[in-house]
Structure 1
Amino acid sequence: MTDDHADSADLPVSDRVLLDLSAAGDRTSFEQLVRRHGPSLTRYARRMLRDEGDVSEVVQDTFVVAWKQSSSFRGESTVRTWLFSICSRKIVDSRRVKRAQPMPDWLLEPAHVGRALDPHVFASNQEFVSALEKALAELPPRQRASWVLREIEGMTFPQIGVALSLSADGVRGHHLRARNALSLRMARWK
């Protein structure tokens, strides 16, 4: 018999199964959810908040709420969307006290900048990132959130609607306005 088929232990466990196990008190399953979704929640929070301390606090609070409410998850959305919904509410809570500021340029830089990269290309990329961050910071919060969740996190309009407590059509409107505003502000790079 050949080993052509993957062992069932090698298959990734679904978010829902991990959340159900977490609700039963399995910390290891919850840690898997944190490792799986923490980076995307952090990217989202960085684009919405002023400083790294606020980002860390929001993401941590998101997972604390998720842990405490894991048994009450109704499954009306994906676990990922549910986590973004919690994170969005935590961002709003954080923003009540502080205003948003663009994330540092280095967060959008390529992870591995090779030595062969043309200095002109590198400088152009830096200038583009700076202009994009400035343009994003000028958008109203819901437009910025809609654009970031759609364009960077790849979420669907209905998922974003759940995360931001908006209808899918409302998200589409915010996203369209954000795209139009960014298109005008970023016309130099077209």
Structure 2
Amino acid sequence: MENYYRELVRFLNAKLGNRQVAEDAVHDAYVRVLERASDTPIEQPRAFLYRTALNLVIDGHRRNVTRPVEPLEVLDSEERFHGPSLQSSLDQAQRLDLLQRALAELPPLCRESFLLRKLEGMSHPEIAEHLGISRSLVEKHIVNAMKHCRVRMRQWEAV
């Protein structure tokens, strides 16, 4: 299924006009497919992957369209009065701690690829050049890091 990665990014980029959004959707699609609960083999992996990616893009678009637009002043004033509760701040801090632990378990290049993409917003070619590795290896590292973090977070939160 990894053979379809670049092809799917090109396809979504042509549809969306935004390579970064296309790459993120493809990453998420790969993670969804890898985390599938079913033991039944996928008969048409290319079609399944395309459908998963398109569904993620559609879902993301629906979320963005249905979100009401509020003036910044209103959001600022509401946040002062309705800031996160102490409990949700603790939950977020605990989740961040768990995420840091999961990232620490990754091999260095895998972790660095993921962080450069998600925190620095670097493109795959930029990461590949920065780390001196191939673009396909960068793509594999990012998908593996996402899958590892999701699996570990679920394991730790279930305890």
Greater Cα radius of gyration, structure 1 or 2: 1
Q: Quick check: TM above 0.5?
A: no
Higher helix proportion: 2
The normalised TM-score by structure 2 is: 0.45
The normalised TM-score by structure 1 is: 0.38
